[in-house]
Chains A and B, each alone.
Chain A
């Protein structure tokens, strides 16, 4: 290794090129997700009998935004190198809670919204605290805590039902000048949560942890606080998703299948959005488009007249293909020892 290889230090080797643009790995991931989504949505619009009317776009946006919020929630723990199997449960819990407390006059509705978001934040914080101070595996902790959160959701709403402030629900799911409000909600979340997070010390610490935890510790990165914050914000984002779900369905339902479906799809969305499952590289913005890709798969099944019950099959296949593409490096490996790290 002491042979000097004066190679690509500096400007020349800094970025790889895509269509002549100099992009980071993350930016490239986002662009690829956008491109896939654009192609799929164009096909969908073309095969759609009524075309891409404002209404069709609004519906697609509402469905996509639901998953996008949960996928953003999943992104934060994944960036630290963990995985959160409780995002679906927190999403459902927020939905059940919102269908009980986001009702009545504007004041109580506002209080209700804060209540729901606070509970989401709390659930995420509990996950983070157990993982950090208990020194436990995120996968198992969130699997177990997901059961607890789902149990609470079921306690709040044993039977589907409840209601929600109608004006709020209508406002959240409408569109203005063909711009769906749910898309604006996503934009606001990006501007007010994701971007400040990414530019904060703790946000960058999360990337650092996912990149190399030991080195991060050596560099004096606040590991514990960064991890807890990542899980806490994850809970908050999942709760925003649950709030939107309540606005769309006007009710709450504690169904384990919904929780599992959203958890699964969120991981798929994160992968498609270009976030590395090993942590350190990625963006919640990519996950948004990953989520829209996942949802458009379902829409395409419908317009191509494929039985919609097959959706889990396609989601599963997309997930398998996504992880396998990540595994293509295996084929390029020339030293078998590199496989075992």
Chain B
């Protein structure tokens, strides 16, 4: 059993965990509170939102595809859940709002899956198109129906409450989801098939596997995970809004790649994605604590915090890719 656990830690995962420790130590030098349990729990809490959406997208990347419809699938999840709560009223709404939101995300995933697996459309274009369609539908939905955007009490509880004292609920959700995903990837036939498709779909098809079904299932999971993140985010912010998913595309893909998953599919461990998610979250938190914009403000330059977030993220992804994402020269 020990070697099964150990096998989960490949080089990239270890580097990612090393970076996390390093960042925390550097942070602690400036601000000792960085190592306090309260701060760490809070970081894991924030990370769990990213962790849920990254779980789904990781499956897609393992298949050798990509899901660019993440931002608006998150928004669909949040907005449809709060909207349904408004329409169904306080009694039904509490029970059905969340499943409805997740179902809508799964439906977007299903369309993506049909397009990519059955029509063989290139995933990057098809999911980009679906992202726009989802955006259009949500904009129309808000403009035409003035739906409820307030989260239900249950959603709020789910996002900020503590079922187990000391462990925020989203962390619990992420742990359960992560455990299920790890089990699925390592121990089930579906997991085997996902890795294999990422390596050579033709061989998988000829091995008697319905590869299209596997791809469809993964896109449905990806859509559902993104929508679930939307539901959690709506609970966290106590409301849903149109751009709620926008800041998530880049960090999601970054976290997965930092965790050592091969961009072209076929290789990657879930534990690496966990490390990547935490690393990205702490990086984000550090930027907001260190506040480099203050330094520039002293120089008389007024810069929004987003400047640094964007630039640092972009550069970190490229640097990490250069470290271990290079393709072999096939010649």
Whether B187 sits at the interface, judged by CB under 8 Å, is: no
A313 touches B133 (CB 8 A): yes
Q: Give which listed residue, B120, B126, B128, B301, contacts A264 with CB less than 8 A.
A: B128
Q: Give which listed residue, B136, B205, B302, contacts A316 with CB less than 8 A.
A: B136
- How many angstroms from the CA of A52 to the CA of B231 in the assembled complex? 48
A313 touches B140 (CB 8 A): yes
Whether A290 sits at the interface, judged by CB under 8 Å, is: no
Q: Give which listed residue, B125, B143, B301, contacts A271 with CB less than 8 A.
A: B125
Known A-B contacts A151-B306, A309-B140, A316-B136; A337 and B206 likewise in contact (beta carbons under 8 Å): yes
Known A-B contacts A134-B322, A320-B133; A139 and B205 likewise in contact (beta carbons under 8 Å): no
Whether A190 sits at the interface, judged by CB under 8 Å, is: no
Q: Nearest chain-A residue to B134 (Cβ)?
A: A316
Q: Chain A contacts of B134 at CB under 8 A? A: 316
Chain A interface: which of B161-169, B222-230, B233-241, B310-318? B310-318
Q: Give which listed residue, A151, A309, A312, contacts B308 with CB less than 8 A.
A: A151
A141 touches B318 (CB 8 A): yes
Q: Nearest chain-B residue to A306 (Cβ)?
A: B140
Q: Chain B contacts of A310 at CB under 8 A? A: 136, 139-140
Q: Which interface residue of A147, A214, A307, A311 has the most chain B CB atoms within 10 A?
A: A147
Q: Which interface residue of A267, A312, A314, A317 has the most chain B CB atoms within 10 A?
A: A312
B313 touches A147 (CB 8 A): yes
* Minimum distance in angstroms from A218 CB to a CB of chain B: 9
A154 touches B304 (CB 8 A): yes
Q: Give which listed residue, B143, B211, B302, B329, contacts A158 with CB less than 8 A.
A: B302
Whether B7 sits at the interface, judged by CB under 8 Å, is: no
Give how many A-B residue pairs fall within 8 Å (CB-CB). Answer: 168
A320 touches B318 (CB 8 A): no
Whether A324 sits at the interface, judged by CB under 8 Å, is: yes
Whether A319 sits at the interface, judged by CB under 8 Å, is: yes
A137 touches B263 (CB 8 A): yes
Whether A53 sits at the interface, judged by CB under 8 Å, is: no
B136 touches A311 (CB 8 A): yes
B310 touches A151 (CB 8 A): yes
Q: Chain B contacts of A135 at CB under 8 A? A: 326-327, 329
Q: Give which listed residue, B125, B139, B308, contacts A319 with CB less than 8 A.
A: B125
* Minimum distance in angstroms from B69 CB to a CB of chain A: 10
* Minimum distance in angstroms from A308 CB to a CB of chain B: 10
Interface residue range, chain A: 35 or more
* Minimum distance in angstroms from B6 CB to a CB of chain A: 29
Whether B18 sits at the interface, judged by CB under 8 Å, is: no
Known A-B contacts A135-B329, A315-B132, A316-B135; A144 and B254 likewise in contact (beta carbons under 8 Å): yes
Q: Chain B contacts of A147 at CB under 8 A? A: 250, 310-311, 313-314, 317
Residues B228-266 near A (CB distance < 8 A): 246, 249-250, 253-254, 257, 263-264
- How many angstroms from the CA of A313 to the CA of B135 in the assembled complex? 7
* Minimum distance in angstroms from A149 CB to a CB of chain B: 8
Q: Give which listed residue, B263, B315, B331, contacts A140 with CB less than 8 A.
A: B263
Q: Chain A contacts of B304 at CB under 8 A? A: 154, 158
- How many angstroms from the CA of A136 to the CA of B313 in the assembled complex? 17
Whether A32 sits at the interface, judged by CB under 8 Å, is: no
Q: Give which listed residue, A130, A137, A277, A311, contacts B125 with CB less than 8 A.
A: A277
Across the A-B interface, give the 3 residue pairs with the lowest CB-CB distance, nearest first.
Answer: A313-B136, A316-B132, A151-B310
Extra 18 A-B pairs, beta carbons < 8 Å, given A146-B314, A154-B310: A130-B318, A136-B263, A137-B325, A137-B327, A144-B254, A144-B315, A147-B250, A151-B306, A151-B308, A151-B311, A152-B307, A158-B302, A312-B133, A312-B139, A317-B129, A323-B122, A323-B126, A336-B205
Question: What would be 18 A-B contacts, judged by CB atoms less than 8 Å apart?
Answer: A140-B253, A144-B313, A148-B315, A154-B303, A154-B304, A158-B303, A214-B331, A264-B132, A277-B122, A309-B139, A309-B140, A313-B136, A313-B139, A314-B136, A320-B126, A323-B121, A340-B201, A340-B205
